[in-house]
Structure 1
Amino acid sequence: MSVTRQFDYLIVGGGSAGCVLANRLSADGRHQVALLEAGGPGGHPSFHLPVGYVWNRAHPRGNWLYRTEPEPSSGDRAILWPRGKVLGGSSAINGLLYIRGQPHDYDAWRDLGNPGWGFADVLPYFRKAEDQARGADAFHGAGGPLGVSDPTVRHPLSDAYIAAAVEAGLTPLDDFNRDRQAGAGYFQLTVRNGLRSSTANAYLKPVRGRDNLHVVTHAHAMRLTFDGRRATGVVAVRGGQTETYSARREVIVAAGAIGSPALLQHSGVGAADHLRSLDIEVIADLPGVGQNLQDHYMVSLTYAVRRLGSFNETTRGWRLVREILRYAASRRGLLTLSAAQINVFLPTISDPDNPDVQFHVMPATFDFETGKVETEPGLTCGVCQLRPNSRGTILISQPDPRAAPAIRPGYLTDDRDKAVLLEGLRFARHIAAQKALAGVAAERLPGSGVTTDSDLLEFARRTGKTLYHPVGTCKMGRDADAVVDSELRVHGVQGLRVVDASVMPTLVSGNTNAPTIMIAERASDLILQSVRIPELQA
């Protein structure tokens, strides 16, 4: 049985961007808006508890659990790529870290032929989204949907790491979301009143009662529909039943850097030769769909810790019971913990004016595949290059839309990335050798026997992992490989936009959730303005 429903706007994907779009496009009550999400509504407590990422990063209840194709540049491993499959998307399972990137990142987007995306243009949208616990100023907003706050728990080992970074020549910072990034300090988090501020909680939950907003979960989009070269709707499977949703105005794909290019390809939008090889009818020959994949590749140094202890010991026994009671009483403590406590932005020789290395430092050690915390006290320093030159692909490999696409990140395939990563790893060791840490943390991995560049690179290939920041696979621009224009409209077709991290032409210098929310905020204005302009002309 097939069911057809009609709306003004169809949003495919209820993740970090989709929930923002659903809120903003339905706000004036004039448009019927449908939000389709392949996952569930996210009722499990772990999607609301800040530390829930520990359980959800490798659990199927709200996670696509993608894996990369094995590649020699990353040790021929099938690396786990968690992506949210639930309302809120990856903002419901991420590590809570609020970082926007440098002004230089957005000015670079503008200079690539994308007017309206320079830092001065996007800053108002960051501010519009934000409910900054410290209050509003020239760089921050208060009263927006997205809660941003300081950590409720600190650790002496984290404080010691900041002290060591300062001894190594870095500047202490307490705000990485202004006009300057280089330095070391605590992350701010997307947490409000002790609860995770996912876009489902921040943007969608408060407006679920709107009569013109229709949220449909467990609806797996199979393909877009077209009338000629105009997008008209979406075919989805829900509960074993095929449903067709049609759009009077626009279809907006917000399925993320993996899901969006895959859906476009299954719908006939992509490289013509590739689509024909899978017997998919070509609607628009856009060779850039699924190309330009970028991600932050993180390589972790771990340390055995003495004297100051770590969070490892707090996660079991009576200490854990104490923390549960503390959270129940005050919404503070261990259960509000983010995936890293200390952030370091490091300028490199290749780009001394714009930090190109980031450290995620946590006073804990754990298995990245399972999330299981280790027993003995430990410290982890994850090192990544911020603006990689290596590029990968997301390409479907069979015509079945339910099959995962082939993910080939191409990590460390560009020699410039290797040089920057090595510089970052060596500086991490330099920090650990400072007085504030020298008697506290002893390196366990890669260990004192790994000293040469070749040995460090081999360690990086064998142990590196995603920092969960895939972008760029439907890039914005004007060149031959661009998929969308500066208003996020898909080239070569009508009535179709892509709004999510896939449109980023280049990766930002930091964590990608905040920029994705900004993109959706700005896209909402662009979409609504395109309605108002014809009305004014009429």
Structure 2
Amino acid sequence: MSAENFDYIIVGAGSAGCVLANRLTEDPAVRVLLLEAGPGDRSIFIHMPSAFAYPLANDKYNWYYHSEPEPFMNNRAMYCPRGRVLGGSSSINGMVYIRGHALDYESWASHEGLENWSYADCLPYFRKAETRAKGGDAYRGDSGPLNVSTGACINPLYNAFIEAGQQAGYAYTADMNGYRQEGFGPMDMTVHKGRRWSTAMAYLRPALKRSNLQVRTRALVARVAFQPGSSPARAVGVEVANGHRIDMIHASREVILCGGAINSPQLLMLSGVGNPDHLRALGIRVVAPLRGVGANLQDHLETYVQYACKEPITLYSAMNPLAKAQIGLEWLVKGTGLGATNHFESGGFIRSEAGVKHPDLQYHFLPMAIQYDGSAPASFHGFQAHVGPMRPTSRGAVTLKSANPKEAPRILFNYMATEQDRKEMRAGIRLTREIFAQKAFDRFRGEAVSPKDHLQTDAEIDAHIREHGESALHPSCTCRMGMDEMAVTDGSGRVHGVTGLRVIDASVMPDVISGNLNAPTIMLAEKMADAIRGKAPLPRSDAPFFVHPDYQTAQR
């Protein structure tokens, strides 16, 4: 048993954990230990943006989770990769930088106890975190650790997608992270000088120069330790599995869980914080009966709308071994070329029907027809749009299979459980077909590859989604903030019913935001870091945001 002691122990060196390690150690009087179950992030396949399919599709840097058979998805076990490496999922994700819509945060702030999570409260922290290559303004940052660049859209297919969106009647937006999310335009990415800019690069590496931060990799935390006899229970450290030995490490101030929407509720339950009936059935002593732990699981489901391309200009040309070698060499020597982009350089946000106040469908465009995780190689020149609903109404859960911390938890998303989710997905496919039918794609558009043109009815489209829908890899909301009986944390990430314990990651979101989750997770970690340090919050923003003036009667 170890006698080590730190002020703060952070469990998980991912998108939130690296932010907290940096911000908390800005105070030289504070000693911080950052624990990561996975290895370091030295792989070329992590740092080359175009190579992200490699860490995404294997278990070396990835928990490699799969769901239980999904009852509304033909009982498929759905792939759920989560980062297990320095930088966490920010080291294996697609590097898309999207903040979500302002009204997402207005919705968060409507909950009791979350009044300071409005868009006006959150926008200053998005700006604090960011340095945008194009420069800052009222919406964008220019001096933060997280470098963000915008796609160059050199391939003509990127601009064809943007132009087709306008021809279909939607607006152009120059910055979907600025005043106006709704519309079609270029997309931002967490890439800097041709390299992935994970939170390990942005936040952790600068902090490693400080003597008050220790980082340990391949350190699996088995459970949070609580002070015997304390009421309410007080977290005083963590137990770390070290081969056949368990090491106890003490935290004099707080233990902070940053494991994400799967691992944070898992660790809470292993530690006795969760649904008491579930814990007792597994022989786990109940420390705090919180029925919401692991509940409210939300994710974005998406599907690919794929077409063959009549001109040989897609990324299929880059898939042969010689081309890959040339791309890799240019990236290694110059940091430029096709290796220096995530290839999601244009996209869009639209509303599925009149009456929807802000976009509920998102697009990522890719000038190639391929599986997102690289699990199936491209076999022809093609292009695709990823489309999916932004605010699903289906709810799942994370539960334990056993009290063994080395056994993966049980994950069930319940994708497509509600008619509303099915309705939005049908609209997504039909509206995407309309966009690809525009004049801008006439010179490029070949036959429909997936879904085939003959799939037209609701039943046929539903069957296609059940067979081909995939996770957009945005699990969230399993330790949600709030003050009601199913809330797990308060507005500062403190776990209800105990002291000395916080959760800070995408699991605390009350509802999933309308977009990718990396940027919002970094924002909330920045905001909660100030709360932990007792610092006054940043001044609220008065920047306005766009809502379609005719949203009640017009779909576009």
Pairwise TM-score range, normalised by the shorter structure: over 0.9
**Helix, strand or coil for the counterpart of 2:2?**
strand
Offset of 1:339 from its aligned partner? 5.3
Contact 1:153 1:337 survives alignment (8 Å): no
Q: Does 1:276 align with 2:280?
A: yes
User: Aligned residue for 1:343?
Assistant: 347
Contact 2:266 2:294 survives alignment (8 Å): yes
User: Aligned residue for 1:450?
Assistant: 455
User: Aligned residue for 2:541?
Assistant: none
Q: Does 1:490 align with 2:498?
A: no
**Helix, strand or coil for the counterpart of 2:116?**
coil
Q: Does 1:292 align with 2:296?
A: yes
Gaps of 5+ in 2: 538-556
* Cα-to-partner distance string for 1:309-340 (whole Å, 9 max, x where unaligned): 21111232544344334323432221122152
**Helix, strand or coil for the counterpart of 1:143?**
coil
Gaps of 5+ in 1: 533-538
Offset of 1:341 from its aligned partner? 2.6
1:157-168 → structure 2 map (5 Å cutoff): 157-168=157-168
User: Aligned residue for 1:223?
Assistant: 223
Q: Does 1:304 align with 2:308?
A: yes
Contact 2:194 2:341 survives alignment (8 Å): no
Amino acid at match of 1:272: P
CA change 1:192–1:368 in 2 (3 A) is closer
Offset of 1:308 from its aligned partner? 5.3
Amino acid at match of 1:487: S
**Helix, strand or coil for the counterpart of 1:373?**
coil
Q: Greater CA deviation, 285-294 or 66-75?
A: 66-75
What's the TM-score, normalizing by structure 1?
A: 0.96
Contact 1:13 1:38 survives alignment (8 Å): yes
User: Aligned residue for 1:387?
Assistant: 391
Offset of 1:239 from its aligned partner? 4.6
Instruction: For 2:246 and 2:470, locate their aligned partners in 1 and report how far apart those are by CA, in whole Å.
Output: 37
Q: Does 1:71 align with 2:70?
A: yes
Offset of 1:351 from its aligned partner? 4.4
Contact 1:312 1:373 survives alignment (8 Å): no
* Cα-to-partner distance string for 1:284-306 (whole Å, 9 max, x where unaligned): 00000000000000111111111
Offset of 1:359 from its aligned partner? 1.3
CA change 1:466–1:339 in 2 (3 A) is farther
User: Aligned residue for 1:475?
Assistant: 480
Instruction: For 1:351 and 1:478, locate their aligned partners in 2 and report how far apart those are by CA, in whole Å.
Output: 30
User: Aligned residue for 1:211?
Assistant: 211
User: Aligned residue for 2:50?
Assistant: 51
CA change 1:131–1:510 in 2 (3 A) is same
How many residues matched? 531
Instruction: For 1:116 and 1:272, locate their aligned partners in 2 and report how far apart those are by CA, in whole Å.
Output: 31
Instruction: For 2:478 and 2:360, locate their aligned partners in 1 and report how far apart those are by CA, in whole Å.
Output: 21
**Helix, strand or coil for the counterpart of 2:54?**
helix
User: Aligned residue for 1:465?
Assistant: 470
Amino acid at match of 1:260: S
**Helix, strand or coil for the counterpart of 2:510?**
coil
User: Aligned residue for 1:171?
Assistant: 171
CA change 1:171–1:89 in 2 (3 A) is same
Q: Does 1:140 align with 2:144?
A: no
Q: Does 1:243 align with 2:247?
A: yes
Offset of 1:405 from its aligned partner? 0.6
CA change 1:530–1:272 in 2 (3 A) is farther
Q: Does 1:330 align with 2:338?
A: no
Instruction: For 1:335 and 1:506, locate their aligned partners in 2 and report how far apart those are by CA, in whole Å.
Output: 35
Amino acid at match of 2:67: T
1:380-419 → structure 2 map (5 Å cutoff): 380-419=384-423
1:48-197 → structure 2 map (5 Å cutoff): 48-113=47-112, 114-152=114-152, 154-197=154-197
1:357-368 → structure 2 map (5 Å cutoff): 357-368=361-372
Offset of 1:152 from its aligned partner? 4.8
Q: Does 1:264 align with 2:263?
A: no
CA change 1:454–1:175 in 2 (3 A) is same
Contact 1:80 1:369 survives alignment (8 Å): no
Amino acid at match of 1:110: A
Amino acid at match of 1:142: D
Offset of 1:375 from its aligned partner? 2.9
Contact 2:67 2:79 survives alignment (8 Å): yes
Instruction: For 2:402 and 2:325, locate their aligned partners in 1 and report how far apart those are by CA, in whole Å.
Output: 49
Instruction: For 1:458 and 1:495, locate their aligned partners in 2 and report how far apart those are by CA, in whole Å.
Output: 48
RMSD value, Cα: 1.6
